[in-house]
């Protein structure tokens, strides 16, 4: 389908069971925005605007356009719910057809049983036919000449009657089978009516053809979405609780650079002096608490701001501002380096404390460290870090006081900060490293268990990982994209 020249579309995926409200047409609801350079002009009309929400969705939801509106400039704005998985298997008519096929199969099996039983009983009736003829002739003789009926002939007649007694249950079975056939005829009549109703609803279209067309469009849409680069955060889904385990504070994560087949999960309980890291083989193993190996770090950690990036764990060494890179496969420290001037030991933590002075993050652009220094007067500093040497490549002073931040995470080079770690928190502040500018935002953030001590974005899965009061929780994110279109979508 080719969009009209002046049409704009907002396409969003949905995860979990979010409310059916339209995605915002602008990125967040900024109160005011500060730039160090002028904003770019509005893109030309022939563009496709996409909002992307990822992974972890309710398995029974399908495609649906759930709202449409008119933008202030008069352009058409549509919002659709588009899941990651295929939807034809969840379509209502598809379910109805599957149910009808199951009924047809059951009827076929019943008819096969009836056929076998009828064949068996018919053979038995044929075998007893000679007995019945013999008995009939003897009864005629006895009727015509009662004087010839002596004790011997009477006993013979009685014996013949006894031989025919097994025929009675066979005839009873015939009666039962007759009732079954009536029921099967009624079910076939109902099936015919259901098929006719589906045919009328579908009209002149062939359902198999429609199904194939939808699958092709789905594949092309998701291929397009996979090619999308960075976007601006416009929404966070409701929380999806994966597991409840551990203490009130901790961190858990997957490798942001691992291939899709690698679904290992790392688990670090506690916020200081810990050294034990559990590595689970899959997310399912993590949920059940099975199939894990243990790594014992040579240096204890501080805080919960750890990340796993390309097979290594990056964390803050306890009672220091030293960053440590620990390689899981070799079980050794590859490099450690001090973050010059960075506060540590609860000097500049997040609002919840917990030795959260230094927070490592990974996004589409690579490895980051978030901390603060005395020179920055306690304001958050964002630094790009070389993942091989842990050398700081560039730093930005955001101007936002770290002790006023509940938690923070990076998406596409933008630092997003929550205003609290408790219930009622929201994503309140965004700092854009690409423009060295910031804005105050108002993005709702449902803090289900009322105490977040870890919040990290995973660019591979495009979800937020959180540790919330002893619960390991995921959030899907919606990113706002603008991409040029060429040809049909």
pLDDT for the residue numbered 176: 72
DSSP-based three-state secondary structure for 292: strand
Please report which confidence band the pLDDT of residue 90 belongs to, taking 50, 70 and 90 as the band edges. Answer: very low
Alpha carbon distance 67, 80 (integer Å): 7
Cβ neighbours, 10 Å, residue 182 = 9
Q: Considering all CA atoms of the chain, what is the largest pairwise distance in Å, rounded to the nearest integer? A: 134
pLDDT for the residue numbered 226: 57
Does pLDDT of 315 surpass 90? yes
Tell me how many degrees the CA angle 366-247-348 measures, rounded to the nearest 5: 50
Of the candidates 317, 273, 309, 252, the one whose C-alpha atom is nearest the C-alpha of residue 456 is 252
Alpha carbon distance 344, 338 (integer Å): 11
Across all residues in the chain, what is the average pLDDT?
77
Sign of the CA dihedral 450, 451, 457, 463?
A: negative
Classify domain 229-480 at the CATH class level.
mainly beta
pLDDT for the residue numbered 180: 74
Q: Which residues contact 458 (CB under 8 A, 6 or more apart)?
A: 253, 254, 256, 362, 464, 465
Where do the domains of the chain lie?
A: 95-202, 229-480
Does pLDDT of 374 surpass 80? yes
Alpha carbon distance 474, 464 (integer Å): 6
Tell me how many degrees the CA angle 20-24-28 measures, rounded to the nearest 5: 125
Alpha carbon distance 414, 71 (integer Å): 26
pLDDT tens-place string over residues 118-151:
777 667 666 666 667 777 676 767 666 666 666 6
């Amino acid at each position: 389908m080719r969009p009209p020249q002046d049409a704009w579309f907002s396409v969003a995926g949905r995860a979990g069971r979010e409310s059916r409200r339209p995605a915002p047409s602008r990125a967040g609801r900024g109160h005011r925005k500060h730039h160090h350079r002028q904003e770019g002009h509005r893109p030309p009309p022939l563009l496709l605007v996409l909002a992307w929400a990822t992974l972890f969705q309710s398995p029974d939801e399908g495609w649906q356009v759930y709202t449409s509106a008119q933008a202030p400039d008069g352009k058409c704005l549509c919002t659709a719910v588009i899941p990651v998985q295929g939807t034809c298997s969840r379509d209502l008519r598809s379910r109805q057809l599957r149910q009808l096929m199951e009924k047809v199969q059951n009827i076929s099996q019943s008819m096969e049983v009836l056929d076998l039983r009828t064949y068996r009983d018919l053979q038995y009736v044929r075998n007893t036919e000679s007995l019945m003829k013999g008995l009939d002739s003897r009864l005629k003789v006895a009727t015509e000449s009662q004087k010839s009926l002596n004790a011997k002939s009477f006993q013979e007649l009685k014996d013949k009657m006894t031989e025919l007694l097994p025929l009675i249950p066979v005839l009873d079975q015939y009666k039962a089978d007759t009732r079954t056939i009536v029921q099967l005829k009624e079910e076939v009549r109902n099936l015919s009516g259901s098929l006719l109703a589906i045919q009328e609803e579908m009209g002149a279209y062939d359902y198999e053809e429609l199904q194939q067309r939808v699958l092709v469009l789905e594949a092309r849409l998701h291929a397009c979405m996979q090619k999308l680069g960075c976007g601006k955060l416009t929404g966070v889904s409701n929380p999806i609780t994966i597991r409840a385990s551990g203490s009130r504070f901790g961190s858990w994560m997957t490798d942001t650079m691992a291939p899709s087949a690698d679904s290992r999960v790392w688990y670090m309980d506690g916020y200081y002096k810990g050294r034990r890291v559990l590595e689970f083989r899959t997310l399912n193993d993590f949920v059940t608490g099975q199939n894990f190996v243990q790594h014992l770090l040579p240096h204890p950690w501080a805080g919960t701001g750890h990340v796993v990036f390309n097979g290594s764990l990056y964390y803050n060494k306890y009672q220091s501002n030293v960053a440590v890179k620990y390689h899981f496969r070799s079980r050794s420290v590859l490099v450690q380096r001090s973050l010059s001037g960075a506060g540590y030991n609860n000097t500049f933590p997040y609002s919840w404390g917990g030795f959260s002075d230094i927070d490592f993050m990974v996004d589409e652009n690579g490895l980051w460290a978030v901390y603060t220094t005395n020179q920055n007067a306690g304001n958050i500093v964002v630094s790009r870090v070389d993942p091989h040497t842990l050398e700081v490549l560039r730093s930005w002073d955001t101007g936002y006081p770290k002790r006023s931040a509940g938690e923070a995470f990076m998406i596409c080079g933008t630092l997003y900060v929550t205003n609290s770690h408790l219930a009622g928190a929201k994503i309140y502040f965004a700092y854009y490293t690409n423009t060295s500018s910031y804005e105050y935002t108002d993005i709702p953030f449902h803090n289900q268990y009322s105490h977040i001590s870890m919040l990290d974005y995973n660019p591979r899965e495009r979800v937020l990982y959180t540790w919330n009061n002893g619960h390991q929780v995921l959030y899907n994110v919606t990113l706002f994209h603008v991409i040029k279109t060429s040809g049909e979508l």
